[in-house]
Structure 1
Amino acid sequence: YMSIIVPMVLVNVMGAIANLETAAAVGDKYDPLACVFGAVPWLLGTIPIASGVGFLLWIGMVITSSSFERKAHDSNHGTAVVLGMIPALAAWAFQLVQTTLHAVNTNSNMTAALDSLAAAGLNPQGMIALSQGYLLTAIVLASTMVHIIERDFIYAAAWMGVASILSATGIIHAYRVVGNAIEPALGFFPTEVSHQFAIVYAGMALMLAAFHLGEEEYKYTWSHVLKMVTWSKQRLPRHTPAAASIDEDTPLLLRSQSTLLEMEK
């Protein structure tokens, strides 16, 4: 259960920090010291859970909408938020499918049910793979997209490398069908699906690393060209037109130009 426990702890800590920052961004600053006096358990015991669900739903909508606004942050990371929600939506969808299968036919074997869904055009393999360790998958995918948006390709490549390792060891995307249940499969390349995901993540890591090297090479080449142009301008001699003979019959405009040339010298 480590693939669930560790992400849950991370999500709780990061979620609490995100809640504080979001509230402070809109002017509702919360003092964390209020939690030290034990008021939260008292509130939980006083307020019915049913009445608090509406507030939690509203808070969730506000936090989600703030991710698509530039008021709370400088960059638009809405794409990363959407990408991070996909594994959670896949887990929720598979839970609905699994509950429906058990309710319709309690004696049906899970393998036969999945084969029937695949024959009907609904291939559940990807949905099940994304649902395994979906919290870690959401963190990795969202973090990768954030660094891609910020053009920090080397950090995005590192996150894809982490995803490849997690998939290769079965922490994410690996599962086995045991009776009527879907169980996680740990080990080095435990299933074919985890093997495929690990290869894809490794390929993405290499591609993002190539993007990083290409961008650094472009920056170096462009800066080198600018330096060469500046150096050539400094080395070129400045040609000034020869001063014409000035006398009383010379027009006033030519006299002023000659005076300016003398002042520059």
Structure 2
Amino acid sequence: MNYFTITRGDVDGFFGLMVDNLIQLLVLTGLCVGLCGFPIAFVTAVVLPGAAISLLIGNLFYSWQAYKLGIRTGRTDVTALPYGINTVSLFAFVLFIMFPVYQATNDYKAAWKAGLLASFASGLIELFGSFVADRIRKATPRAALLSALAGIAITFISMDFLLKTFEYPLVAFLPLGIILLQYFGKVKFPFGLPGGFVSILIGIALAFFSKYLGTPIFVEGGLEKGVATIGFYLPVLSIIDLWDVLSLTNLKLYLAVILPMGIFNVIGSLQNIESAEASGDHFDTKSSLLANGIGTLVGTLFGSPFPTTIYIGHPGWKGLGAKHGYSVLNGIFITIVCLFGLMGILQALIPIEAGMAIVLWIGIVIAAQAFQATPKNHAPAVVVGLLPALAGWAVLIFQSTFFYLDGKLQSLLKELGVKTSHHFSLSDIGTHEPFLPYALGGVIALSQGFLLSSMVWAAIVVFLLEGEFLKSALWSAVGMLLAALGLIHSYKLVGNAILNEFSPFQNWQFPLAYFLLTALFLLTHFLTRKQTTPNQG
């Protein structure tokens, strides 16, 4: 197969990954402008071109990597690793670094520079993590690696888009039905049209007519605003701006956010590489993670404060029939969109509701893979590994609810003429109030570092199922170390922000609890070591 060959599956994969990437760019644009005071002109001229460079580098590398793997193995069905802006880091850097800096200084450039520092440090962690990640991968059961991804797929991908689907059923049901028909029902559409392309076209048409159905999707005047940003924007080298804030003092100030995000990015990318292997595509761990780190660093040097990552979703793109061409198409398309200021027009013409069916399907396939690509008797471990991500999603709902209630309260007080600097927040009520319907403290603790704790608990259960109690004890000891360092379960409330409390033994109960668990498994190992037949379930 020629490198420049584009298959029908590549076209479908392109539409799916393109929509996913566009959603990330739309979100970061909204957060930068709405929370951090960035002028839209600055986002268009500096941030988006920088992001485009990082996305182009990664998409071209992973495409070439897949192409070379196909040549080396004589296969024509190799699918490139998907790649894009890291969603978790995006929210973390905006909410916990850039937004507080903007609040304190009222200077959007100060907030942007703080974001550059965080992204640069995260890229270095990704770079150095590539040299040890393969050892972690080989020592970790597949169920532990895939269950964490399945948890994200069910919550932050599938549930989010499923709820949007049921919020706008007249617009979203039909595109979803088209996707399900082609990829679950194996139905082929007339003229060989890709299902993803048909789904988006139908979605756009339904969104256009939504104003006549009582649920208008398109925003009035959106197209005119989009046209105003059209131009040509070369990436802006931002090394001097990064150098202004590159100091040990600033790094320590943001370390509680940067370090967990950097580690989670490495672990998340590692899990996605394992997911690709479970689908039949074996990519070199070290070079894959190196490219990810380089993409983040180059993007940062050209003004993007948002790290990149190997995306969740390889099994889904493979199920679409995508090969390496979809990655090339996506990289080129996103670059053109960002360099020519076309984000505004695309936002006006392609609402999220028109393309989210593809992303929802991807989430379903990823969650299914965690059960299909692991031994049947490891299914309980996969279920256990899902639970921390569910807690992470619940915390996001709690935070969103409190932000909404605080906004309503502030509006009411303003109408009443009451002047106050106080805000209604999670920190007001604490986490152990008896009136709360759920154990909020437990939900938040489980959500902190959920990618890591998911791996720990799933691995513990895998080895318990296999009767290897010593290995369960070792994984429990890993949990003890992570908890002692504050990488999991440790947090503090600052208003409605839930910050990782990165300091040794900040929450001493969890390291002690893991120590007791380790002792229990060790004792069990020594009492049962004469039993050589493992539990076959």
Same fold, TM-score > 0.5, yes or no: yes
| Aligned residue number for residue 41 of structure 1 | 331
1:3 pairs with one of 233, 239, 260? 260
- The CA distance in 1 between the partners of 2:464 and 2:323, in whole Å, is 36
- The CA distance in 2 between the partners of 1:186 and 1:147, in whole Å, is 29
CA contact (8 A) 2:483 2:490 kept: yes
| Aligned residue number for residue 261 of structure 1 | none
Deviation at 1:219, TM superposition (A): 4.2
Q: Deviations over 1:213-244 (max 9, x none)?
A: 22213449xxxxxxxxxxxxxxxxxxxxxxxx
Deviation at 1:125, TM superposition (A): 0.5
Matched, 1:104 2:405: yes
Matches within 5 A, 1:95-244: 95-106=396-407, 107-114=423-430, 118-190=434-506, 194-219=507-532
Deviation at 1:212, TM superposition (A): 1.8
- The CA distance in 2 between the partners of 1:134 and 1:19, in whole Å, is 21
- Alignment CA distance shift 1:178-1:209 (3 Å): same
- SS in structure 2 opposite 1:105? helix
- Alignment CA distance shift 1:208-1:52 (3 Å): farther
- Alignment CA distance shift 1:63-1:95 (3 Å): closer
Deviation at 1:160, TM superposition (A): 0.5
| Aligned residue number for residue 54 of structure 1 | 357
| Aligned residue number for residue 368 of structure 2 | 65
- The CA distance in 1 between the partners of 2:440 and 2:510, in whole Å, is 15
- Greater RCO (Cα-Cα under 8 Å, separation 6 or more): 2
Kindly report the root-mean-square deviation, in angstroms, between the aligned alpha carbons of the 2 structures.
3.5
- SS in structure 2 opposite 1:163? helix
- The CA distance in 1 between the partners of 2:268 and 2:439, in whole Å, is 30
- The CA distance in 2 between the partners of 1:17 and 1:101, in whole Å, is 37
- Alignment CA distance shift 1:19-1:67 (3 Å): same
User: Which residues of structure 2 form unaligned runs of 5+?
Assistant: 1-257, 282-314, 338-345, 408-422
- Alignment CA distance shift 1:57-1:136 (3 Å): same
Matched, 1:84 2:341: no
Q: Percent identity?
A: 27
- SS in structure 1 opposite 2:404? helix
- Alignment CA distance shift 1:99-1:118 (3 Å): farther
User: Which residues of structure 1 form unaligned runs of 5+?
Assistant: 221-265
- Alignment CA distance shift 1:163-1:98 (3 Å): same
- Which of 1 and 2 has greater Rg? 1
- The CA distance in 1 between the partners of 2:403 and 2:376, in whole Å, is 45
How many residue pairs get aligned? The number is: 214
- SS in structure 2 opposite 1:77? helix
Deviation at 1:40, TM superposition (A): 4.5
| Aligned residue number for residue 244 of structure 1 | none
Deviation at 1:126, TM superposition (A): 0.4
Give the residue type in structure 1 aligned to 2:464: I
CA contact (8 A) 1:129 1:175 kept: yes
- Alignment CA distance shift 1:9-1:219 (3 Å): closer
Deviation at 1:189, TM superposition (A): 1.2
Give the residue type in structure 1 aligned to 2:265: M
Deviation at 1:103, TM superposition (A): 0.9
- SS in structure 1 opposite 2:279? helix
Q: Deviations over 1:75-97 (max 9, x none)?
A: 43221111111111111101111
- The CA distance in 2 between the partners of 1:74 and 1:109, in whole Å, is 44
- Alignment CA distance shift 1:39-1:21 (3 Å): farther
